[in-house]
Structure 1
Amino acid sequence: MSFSPTDDENFNSSFEIGSLSKNYEYNPFIQDEDTESEKEDLPRLLLMGLRGSGKTSIQKVVFQKMSPNETLFIGSNNSILKDVVNNSAFVNFQICDFPGHFNFTGIDDIESIFQGCESLIFVIDAQDAIASALNRLHSVVTKAYKVNSNIKFEVFIHKIDGLTEDTKMETQREIHQRANDDLVESGLEQKIYISYHLTSIYDHSIFEAFSRVVQKMIPQYATLENFLNIIISTSGIEKAFLFDVKTKIYVATDSSPVDVQSYELCCDMIDVIIDLSNIYGMGEDQDLMNDPAFDDKSSSLIKLNNGTILYLREVCSFLALVCILREDNFEKQRIIDYNFMILRKGIHRLFELKDKEKDSIPSSKSSSLL
């Protein structure tokens, strides 16, 4: 494993992304302190489900780095909990955790809940009776769709740890079928699409599921995927992930299928990198949890005993490109590193244009229940 800077001036170009200035210094990933009004304008992700389904534990583990075992001591949530997740220009939204007993019936201004909502995650406890959960799911989904037809609906079939593979698949099929039957009865089966994910906070499945949710919230995802397709095709790479380092959510990957074991290996690699960076790269003013020593000099190479290499390069303080390739193909490291430099500049350029477009659109304010 090594942490070393790369001199990209000596490499031969293998591909280019757009027309990029050599003196390009823009960094959209460094976030300024948001004002309260700016936070309210962020895309909103709603986390819902019955009491005890595991909603708050999911948020704590994924976004606040709580140990899964510590979630056993979390009490019931009796109010709407709001949190801003703004690690980078990719992972930048407001997450609202609703209590399990929340009732929409007496809400006059229900539009204020679902307007501005990008994604709604409904959590179902796979180890509990699902009839009540399915009734609530249908009620929430239909109300939300009437207010905002652009919401992306996700169901986390949660707490699958301890269940056999057959039981997991059977539970998913039952929930999918019964939820779809409810939509058919309402005449909405052609209008509402729900994605289903098997999740647990005791393995990487919850991070993989949130990765897919967040990717749908990124308008530029197709461009990012194309960038990664180009770099793997020109560099002999088998798989590439663009990771939000703080959460281990991959905000983009190439178009080839994601192998769960490969994703888990990449997550484990990031944990090692952050641990070593904190040990050997800490400055006097750095905070171990909130300001990891992960900068533009950070890179890592791990060789596995099956001839596979994991290669990590920093994109910004909270983003990293993690590649999986064969050891024989790593002989072209200089080309890989140069292509990475072009990729990084392309990503920065992409979000420079995004921010300019955002600044040109006047923000609109509306009353909000949240």
Structure 2
Amino acid sequence: MDKKLRQNKPRLLLMGQRRSGKSSITSVVFHKMPPQETLFLESTTRIQKDSMRSFMDFQVWDFPGQLDYFDPTFDTTEIFSEIGALVWVIDAQDDYTDSLNRLTTTILNLQTTFPHINVEVFVHKIDSLNEEFRSDIYQDIVQRVSDDLSDAGYINPNITYHLTSIYDHSIFEAFSKVIQKLIPQLDTLENLLNILVNNCGMSKAYLFDILSKIYVASDTRPIDMEVYEMCSDYIDVIVDVTDIFGYERGHDKLLGEQMQEAESSIIIHDGTMIYLKEMNRYLCLVTVIKNNEAKDKKGLIDYNCHVFQDALNGVFARSWEKDKAVGNGGDSSAQEQLQAQLED
């Protein structure tokens, strides 16, 4: 499974009923379209395929809601054979009975031939619903899908549910969780971030994909959504500035030797420092330090983050053969070297 993941681009399949919000999601997350402009998008009439070039290349396929993917005229092997995730989008503001029926039918059809595909359910368009109504709809969907699959003999399905909206950061948080399951080096990245956070007195650290603002890893401390949103917004500020005054971010452009990766920090009203440093042209580290002395020790923070950068790029630079240890639980040499070089 790991070998196939490395040889091919992981594929994200966005499915669901018409007008459930699939095209709006891809436009906002992967093409940086303002959410308000998605109101003018037309319904998808054919399969839309996007190739995303980032730290890990992957594909996003947006399926029209009216298609029957298991019709004999479709090549189901071509659609589902690549290891990745099935993202099923449900409009929480509409009657979702038909959508749930199609979802359970799809899951049952996949179990016999493609059982390794991750199934992710986005309970979407929750922005206009109050907290109590959101919770009721979420529980109803989970219970109905679980009951239908159980009646069909499929016990304890491996399905993950997310509450999402394109008008806040919930859609980026959901896609972050989806993408993380496809990263063989995730355990190593989390361990490296834990070492950095513990040695530098940081409250939280995220490793973001710069273009999409999906975070590919974080340390294992609990996630505070306000902190996450603050870190995500800070990326927009720095990217906008570097796009104007820095190097071009075209995929065919390499970072010139004379150019330095963007690095920035800011102290907010309560004394908390937000620190950002680009790791390479795809990834950036964003950390939160709740220590009034942080601004006086910025040189030390810079040094520690530079050491982390070397360890991170070393992990991604490894060949697939050397990377076998990562898929089995981590790269101890990278972690040991980072621990040895960081300064308190």
- TM-score, normalised to structure 1, is 0.80
Residue of structure 2 equivalent to 1:281: 246
CA contact (8 A) 1:274 1:293 kept: no
CA separation in 1, counterparts of 2:218 and 2:6?
Answer: 28
CA separation in 1, counterparts of 2:180 and 2:249?
Answer: 29
Q: 2:106 aligns with which of 140, 143, 156?
A: 140
Residue of structure 2 equivalent to 1:312: 276
Give, as a single letter, the amino acid of the residue that structure 2 aligns with 1:145. Answer: Q
Give, as a single letter, the amino acid of the residue that structure 2 aligns with 1:338. Answer: Y
CA separation in 2, counterparts of 1:77 and 1:146?
Answer: 29
SS in 1 for 2:179: helix
CA distance 1:137–1:214, shift in 2 (3 Å): same
CA contact (8 A) 1:239 1:254 kept: yes
CA separation in 2, counterparts of 1:39 and 1:106?
Answer: 30
CA separation in 1, counterparts of 2:321 and 2:299?
Answer: 33
CA contact (8 A) 2:249 2:281 kept: no
Matched, 1:321 2:285: yes
RMSD over aligned CA atoms reads 2.5
What does 1:169-248 align with in structure 2 at a 5 Å threshold?
169-190=135-156, 192-248=157-213
Q: Deviations over 1:295-341 (max 9, x none)?
A: 63411111111121100011011211000012335143333222212
CA distance 1:271–1:297, shift in 2 (3 Å): same
Give, as a single letter, the amino acid of the residue that structure 1 aligns with 2:138. Answer: Q
Matched, 1:168 2:168: no
State which drifts further: 326-335 or 47-56: 326-335
Give, as a single letter, the amino acid of the residue that structure 2 aligns with 1:79. Answer: R
Equivalent residue pairs, number = 316
CA separation in 1, counterparts of 2:316 and 2:237?
Answer: 29
CA contact (8 A) 2:243 2:249 kept: no
Residue of structure 1 equivalent to 2:329: none
Stretches of structure 1 that go unaligned for 5 or more consecutive residues are 1-37, 359-370
Give, as a single letter, the amino acid of the residue that structure 2 aligns with 1:352. Answer: A
CA separation in 1, counterparts of 2:53 and 2:250?
Answer: 18
Q: Deviations over 1:262-308 (max 9, x none)?
A: 110011101111112223336xxx47999899963411111111121
What does 1:1-370 align with in structure 2 at a 5 Å threshold?
41-89=8-56, 92-107=57-72, 109-190=75-156, 192-281=157-246, 286=248, 296-330=260-294, 331-355=296-320
- TM-score, normalised to structure 2, is 0.86
CA separation in 2, counterparts of 1:102 and 1:68?
Answer: 26
Residue of structure 2 equivalent to 1:361: none
Give, as a single letter, the amino acid of the residue that structure 1 aligns with 2:142. Answer: H
State which drifts further: 56-65 or 100-109: 100-109
**Residue 111 (structure 1) shift:** 2.3
CA contact (8 A) 1:82 1:94 kept: yes
CA contact (8 A) 1:236 1:329 kept: no
Percent of aligned pairs sharing the same letter:
43
CA distance 1:289–1:72, shift in 2 (3 Å): farther
Stretches of structure 2 that go unaligned for 5 or more consecutive residues are 324-344
CA separation in 1, counterparts of 2:8 and 2:125?
Answer: 33
